[in-house]
Amino acid sequence: MDDTSSINGATIVFYEGTYAVVTADHFIRSDLIAMLYDEDWNYIKTVELQDDAQWSMGSEYNDGLIYIAYHKGPHEYGDVYVDIYDTEWDLQETIEVTDVGERVEDDILFAQHPWLDIDGDKMFVIYTIGREKILKDSLERTLTCMLSVYEKK
């Protein structure tokens, strides 16, 4: 997939005869994009979705809407969001899944690695909450898997 610049940490969703590979365009300062392909994997176009976002590791097409889970903010810290798009990639809603706050100099809290699943009227978003504490001679890192559940409107 060399049709446009992209990195790892992607997801794929199939809707109405189109494959959308949702990823970031660069590794350090990245924007979330959707690279669109037809059923035979012919490149259609790239759609820009979000500034300063990456790790779109969860997606689903459900009831005519496309759900994308992603991390927004610098790689060292940031939050998890879910965007809901129509099939023309017009943003319908953004859900802020986490709000870890601002980075503190020696105590960093972050949310990453989002995934989602929709079952009936519920959307399940699973993600990692991490904390890094900078100690005198080392770095202490803890990671916790979290789950948030949302009722469809």
Strand order in the sheet with 91-96: 53-62, 65-72, 79-85, 91-96
- Smallest Cα–Cα separation from 141: which of 106, 116, 117, 115? 106
**Predicted structure pTM score:** 0.88
Can you spell out the DSSP letters for 50-66?
Answer: ESSEEEEEEEEEETTEE
How far apart CA 152 and CA 87 sit, in angstroms, is: 18
Q: Digits of tens for pLDDT over the chain (153 positions)?
A: 566 655 567 889 999 999 999 988 766 668 889 999 999 999 999 999 998 888 888 999 999 999 999 988 876 678 999 999 999 999 999 999 998 866 667 777 888 889 999 999 999 999 999 888 877 788 788 889 999 999 987
Alpha helices in the chain (DSSP H): none
